[in-house]
Amino acid sequence: MFQFFEGLVDPYTPYQETDTPPDRLWPFLLDYARPFRRIFVYAALFSVVVAAIEIGLIWLMGWVVDILSGDPAQVWETHGTTLILLGLFILLVRPLVQGIDVLLLNNTILPNFGTLIRWRAHKHVLRQSVGWFENDFAGRIANRIMQTPPAAGEAVFQVFDAITFAIAYAVGAVILLAQADPRLAVPLVLWLGLYGWLVVWTVRRVGPASEAASNARSEVTGRVVDSYTNIHSVKMFATDQRELDYAKDAIENTRRTFMAEMRLFTFMDFALVVLNGLLIVAVVGWALTLWMQDTATVGVVAAATALTLRLNSMTGWIMWSLTSFFRQLGVVREGMETIAQPIELVDAVGAKPLLLTDGRIEIQSLTHHYGRESGGLDRIDLVIRPGEKVGLVGRSGAGKSTLVKLLLRFYDADGGRVLIDGQDIAQVTQDSLRAQIGMVQQDSALLHRSVRENILYGKPSASEDEMRAAAQQARAEEFIPDLEDADGRRGYDAHVGERGVKLSGGQRQRITLARAILKDAPILLLDEATSALDSEVEAQIQETLKDMMQGKTVIAIAHRLSTIAHLDRILVLDEGRIVEDGTHDVLLAKGGLYAGFWSRQSGGFLNTEAAE
């Protein structure tokens, strides 16, 4: 039974992805709710039926009170069959209807609706560009991905568990009292008007207050995760107190926004008690008056009393459900600041896979300033022949990393273009472009997974032997068998910690190299690939890199000039322009920037800050 209802909607059902999701609340929710439309109709119908049954039971209670005024034997003879049928209805039909209602809510909607939103939101966010992620806290992004789905699910739950039920119950209550005596419906209708005003007053304020509180909570998460992610720096500089102060500002802001939200609920609760008192006195008092005037039966008084007491107990729940509904919508609205952002770096219309034949790279007037007037690259022209090995050097901020990021299309250029084998990389699919490029970075961060999974990231389809061969070629086999994590997993099964924190810098770098070796892409980008290695291991890895470079087009960034002196060409970048181009010997003979860098090396490293 549970599996049947849980399987009515597949949260991973295929859907039409969009680069520009709806940026308004209701279109946003309705877009996610498409697979649930049929289920929502059923849930609404069963909620109305449940409310009708509850109202009907109160009416029946009044009827029972009225028939009890006669002779017991006569009552059983006249109404016995009806009473038996009523008992069977209460024992069998009522639980079945309410059971289906609860199954639809708890087992079909709640688990699947939140899962669908989380899955699609995560899928959408993963498509965002590197630059998009660089502009926000990873913790805040993750927090919004995690808190928005349950908030949306709770909002939908309240619609069918409380709002639909409450509307049906209110309409039924008015009909019931009007049927007994139209005058009894007057105080209830007046009370419903006042109750509606209180609801409107509350929800208008709860939504914005909840959004502010949710935003504050996301800020706290972002700051705390930022501290934890950089815990080595925190401990190394003994800045625990500074981090506490940094977090405290956000925590205090969360407390203030939450207090403002709770003030609304306190006012609501007090006003509700007053309104419910008016309801009981007005309806029950009026029913007693009619009975004293002999225009209403005892059953009518009993039904009116039961109804008002039931409404009295329900109003707090309904009001809380309504405010919870709008509070959750506030959380969703805040999450939309991340989830509903359009994808700006997209494949061109009709983009085709990159067809790499030779590995020729041609850069034409390439310009990128990160939205500023200066910095980055400024009108770079460059041709790298198939199989050519090119080194990049220059001061910090000269544009070396920017050039690499543009080659990978992590950003769209402000001007100019990059061609690979005559194909503009802006006109091919991003995945096919990056599939043809291998990269080893200075920041050799790893995934918090096993060593095996990290190496296989370069080529998931590789066999175990291929994976181990790549590790051996990267000199990683020297330490991998000795690895063991806190859960007792050893060797290739050992997990490396967040960003590979459980490994030394050299170990992380060698696993990164193994990953690139396994990928075996025809274009290779090296960004300080041996910076984290000691001299002995570096000498070994340099031999590995030479083997990796065979038959590939290579661009290598290095501060240790000795690692690129043997390359076919060396480019010197300065203030976003190529100012020198030639072999190591030619550039030394020119006596320019490169020669200055070379003469000022200390221990083989480039002292770019001192160079003039």
Q: Provide the CA 504 distance to its chain's centre, in angstroms.
A: 31
User: What value, to the nearest 5°, has the Cα angle with vertex 424 and ends 420 and 430?
Assistant: 85
What pLDDT is recorded for position 611? 40
Alpha-carbon distance 98 to 90, whole Å?
11
Would you give the DSSP letter of residue 89? I
What pLDDT is recorded for position 610? 41
Output the CA torsion 59→65→66→72 (10° steps).
140
Q: SS3 for 268?
A: helix
Alpha-carbon distance 595 to 579, whole Å?
13
Of 316, 121, 323, the C-alpha closest to 210 is: 323
- In the chain, which residues have pLDDT < 50? 602-612
Q: Where in the chain is the domain with CATH 3.40.50.300?
A: 347-436+521-612
- Write down the pTM of the prediction: 0.76
What pLDDT is recorded for position 604? 46
Phi and psi of 326, rounded to 5°?
-75, -30
What pLDDT is recorded for position 526? 87
Phi and psi of 459, rounded to 5°?
-160, 85
User: What value, to the nearest 5°, has the Cα angle with vertex 199 and ends 193 and 204?
Assistant: 130
What pLDDT is recorded for position 118? 92
User: What value, to the nearest 5°, has the Cα angle with vertex 399 and ends 612 and 384?
Assistant: 105
What pLDDT is recorded for position 320? 72
The CATH homologous superfamily to which domain 347-436+521-612 belongs is P-loop containing nucleotide triphosphate hydrolases (3.40.50.300)
Q: CB neighbours of 102 closer than 8 A, spacing ≥ 6?
A: none
Number of H helices, E strands in the chain: 21, 10
Alpha-carbon distance 63 to 83, whole Å?
11
Domain 21-339 in CATH 1.20.1560.10? The answer is: yes
Encoded tokens for 565 = 């002196």
What pLDDT is recorded for position 609? 46
What pLDDT is recorded for position 586? 93
Q: SS3 for 605?
A: strand
Strands of the sheet containing 361-368, edge to edge, are 377-384, 361-368, 415-420, 423-424
pLDDT in tens, 419-462: 999 999 999 999 999 999 998 887 767 888 899 999 998 899 99
